[in-house]
Amino acid sequence: MPNSEQVSLNPQSWQGLRVLVTGGHGFVGRQVTKLLESLPLSELRVPRSQEADLRDQAVCAEVTKGVDVVIHLAANVGGIGYNLEYPGSLFYDNLLMGVHIMEEARKSGVSKFVGLGTICAYPKYTPVPFKEVDLWNGYPEETNAPYGLAKKMLLVQAQAYRRQYDFNAIYLLPVNMYGPGDNFDPASSHVIPALIRKFVEAKQLQEPEVVVWGTGTPTREFLYVEDAARGILLAAERYNGSEPVNLGSSFEISIKDLAETIKAAVGYTGHIVFDESKPDGQPRRKLDVTRAKQEFDFESSVPFAEGLQRTVDWYLAQPRT
């Protein structure tokens, strides 16, 4: 269950540091950057992807110069449909960004590297709840394997660099994240923003039904984006181990129940139809979050119903084109 007394960051640990956040203008990155702006850093670098293509090693060399801490959040990422359409791009982009930014961080003398992985790195049939020790016990779910494996290479690289260069790189495995500011583009969004948009538009157009991909039986765990940002920075502040660490909420819900919950939050009164010809993705996703609690005292604090309502309210407040 969420913890109402969340653990806070220690400003003294960040005093005078020069921090680079890749992907700092993205969904999670904006929340991480917001927290960092409240800390006594000497410099915060948040390059935009249009100005700094991290697939280019020379660009990575430039952005990591004179930096103490790198928090690598940049990613090419999307939902099931996006993964099915662009598997090559997802593999190439995420692999190159990770390889180049960590190598150049090492060469630049960065003292701490925080790499963000993905729950998609886990095997398709991982025992539930997912424990970090099971990360290599099988192949990922096929629809997102190229993305998951590319991000998993960050862990391999981090552990190899720690052994050879004594490079302090850590690797975090966040569960599906959601919240205000998420990506609501139907071509690339994840399940929560995709469903919110579907139900809102169906209500506005008075459509009799909303079609949801798959059977509705798979389950997912979700972590509110502000909790995720705090967890990432607590790990950056307190964790220096070689083993991967899950970041989650310990809350699991089926896609069917999720759709019903979003339907109610939006106030849609039509029917839900499940298109079973579409892929379900991984059967279950729920993380064991014991290690995060033990290593850097992280627990989620925002209950799912509250976080979901905030997300719906945020989306409804956005101007429509």
Q: Do 91 and 48 touch, CB atoms closer than 8 A? A: no
Half-sphere exposure of 182 (CA within 13 A, CB side): 33
Q: Which of 82, 92, 125, 147 is catalytic?
A: 147
Strand 69-72 relative to strand 209-213: parallel, antiparallel, unpaired? unpaired
Distance CA 37, CA 185 (A): 28
Distance CA 26, CA 315 (A): 16
224 annotated active-site: no
Q: List the alpha helices (DSSP H) in the chain.
A: 27-36, 57-63, 80-85, 87-107, 145-165, 191-204, 225-238, 255-266, 290-296, 304-317
3-class DSSP assignment, residue 105: helix
Residues 217-237: b if buried by 16+ CB within 10 A, e if exposed: ebbbbbbbbbbbbbbbbbbbb
Q: Point out the residues that are catalytic.
A: 147
